[in-house]
């Protein structure tokens, strides 16, 4: 994104894995420069028949393109999230069109949580927590601090996202939260 064009900016996506659950939460704010365009965008979705959670940050059209590609990889490799993500990352790095996409994703199934980046990285976060987007670092820090409490994964995600919304002007408190039972 260039500084000449305000562009679509900001979001917060957080994943928390604790106990028998994994949660992916995303805020609903879409901003253009300093203007809030929408408060209730849905940046967290279920893929693969509901067995995979995916949250995206970045350019919306780019993120939808990546989700469609990931869905196709999941159809080719059912039940193999890591393999599907690695195959997507290979395409992302080698395809001229995909290389220009400006988006990141957090994806999770019952056993794995992964962060997919625009450089073709497939990263497995430590400690069961991952955050991306403009408020991702705030949500990540808050969630890590809450992991030692009695709170469950969803409560941690909701509290951490509220903290991020209080700090990041590109994050709001209108959340979409999806949960899976972990294996």
> Which residues, other chains included, contact 152 with Cβ-Cβ below 8 Å and sequence gap of 6+?
18, 19, 21
Active-site annotation holds for 65: no
Q: Which two tokens stand for residue 122?
A: 């497939």
Q: Are 112 and 81 in contact (CB under 8 A)?
A: yes
What are residue 53's DSSP bridge partners?
Answer: 46, 108
In the three-class reduction of DSSP (H, G, I as helix; E, B as strand; rest coil), residue 106 is classed as: strand
Q: Tell me which of 2, 11, 117, 149 is the catalytic residue.
A: 11
Enumerate the β-bridge partners of residue 129: 16
Catalytic residues: 11
């Amino acid at each position: 994104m260039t500084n000449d064009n305000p562009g679509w900016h900001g979001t917060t996506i957080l994943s928390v894995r604790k106990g028998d659950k994994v949660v992916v939460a995303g805020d609903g704010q879409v901003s253009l420069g300093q203007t809030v365009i929408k408060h209730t965008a849905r940046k967290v979705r279920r893929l693969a028949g509901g067995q995979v959670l995916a949250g995206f940050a970045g350019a919306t059209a780019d993120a939808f393109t990546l989700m469609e590609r990931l869905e196709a990889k999941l159809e080719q490799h059912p039940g193999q999230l890591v393999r599907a993500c690695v195959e997507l990352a290979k395409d992302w790095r080698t395809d001229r069109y995909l290389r220009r996409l400006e988006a990141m994703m957090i994806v999770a199934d019952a056993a794995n949580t992964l962060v997919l980046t625009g450089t073709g990285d497939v990263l497995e976060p430590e400690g069961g927590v991952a955050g991306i987007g403009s408020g991702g670092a705030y949500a990540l820090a808050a969630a890590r601090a809450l992991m030692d409490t009695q709170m469950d994964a969803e409560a941690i995600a909701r509290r951490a996202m509220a903290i991020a919304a209080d700090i990041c002007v590109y994050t709001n408190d209108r959340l979409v939260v999806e949960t899976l039972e972990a294996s």
